Amino acid sequence: MKNAVVVIPTYNEIENIEIILEKVFSLSLNLDILVVDDNSPDLTHAKVQELIDNKTYNSSLNLIIRQNKEGLGKAYIEGFKWCLAQEYTYIIEMDADLSHDPKYIPSFLENIKDNDLVIGSRYVKGGGVVNWSMFRKLISFGGSAYSRIILGISIKDVTGGFKCFKYEVLKSINLDNIMSAGYAFQIEMNYRTLLKGFKVKEVPIVFEDRVLGKSKMSKKIFIEALWNVLLLRIHKKDILNEK
């Protein structure tokens, strides 16, 4: 088994990609990185390919280019399948836009030893949000509360995208059955992890809104999340019986 990999989905992150890669690799933690790009028109993937070709990070940097923009969930599923095939013990998810500070990765890797999923959480003691609009705070906090109530779970930050899975968790979830393409993906992965009986821990992170590039949040993604939480609850039994 290999050690740990950080999966970073990208869509038009040309201003951020080099900075985030440098920050993660400068932790010197024996981590690999997989960038999953949905054929970004701003050529984020070409920048990554250039760094691979120049061997800037030896062989630690990897890239998957997908044909079309299909949402963060689909990008992660393809990335996770690659990580499982490569047999990484720990698989970390992280945004490219510098909202997730890599300085928390050591605490994730420490906590994952006794847990199966570690979630970087804005809503536990010590966590927080910096520079987000009132509107985004409301969607995020409200979305977590809504999911908690409908799904009957106790995770405080259900929608966050900075987390660390053990290999066994991703291996046990049937990734082809994931319904959510947008940000509901995060909720769905948490729910499926809990239903499998795995141990989940939240560790505090301070999330900072992006300075460069644009958010891909949309009304469609928001509605999918509301709807899919209900679908997940309705299909709870099927998910429990899934192989």
Ligand X SMILES: Nc1nc2c(ncn2[C@@H]2O[C@H](COP(=O)(O)OP(=O)(O)O)[C@@H](O)[C@H]2O)c(=O)[nH]1
- Pick the piece of the chain touching ligand X (CB under 6 A) from 24-32, 118-126, 212-220, 231-239: 212-220
Q: Nearest distance from residue 95's CB to ligand X, in Å?
A: 4
The two tokens of residue 178 are: 């994931």
Instruction: Output the 3-class SS for 139-177.
Output: HHHHHHHHHHHHHCCCCCCCCCCCEEEEHHHHHHCCHHH
Judge whether 153 and 147 are in contact, CB under 8 Å: yes
Yes or no: say if 216 and 11 are a contact pair by the CB < 8 Å rule: yes
Task: Return the closest-CA partner of residue 131 out of 96, 97, 182.
Answer: 97
CB 187 to ligand X: min, Å: 13
CB of 241 to ligand X, least distance (A): 30
Among 32, 38, 116, 157, binds ligand X (CB under 6 A): 38
Q: Which is nearer to ligand X, 179 or 195 (CB)?
A: 179
Q: Is 180 in the site for ligand X (CB under 6 A)?
A: no
Q: Tell me the per-residue interface mask from 90 to 119 with Mg ion, x by CB under 5 A, - otherwise.
A: -----x-x-x--------------------
Return the number of other C-beta atoms located less than 10 Å from residue 87's C-beta. 10
Spatial contact of 59 and 74, defined as CB atoms under 8 Å apart: no
# residues near ligand X by CB under 6 A: 20
**Residues interacting with ligand X, by CB under 6 A?**
9-11, 13, 36-38, 69-72, 75, 95-97, 99, 210, 215-217
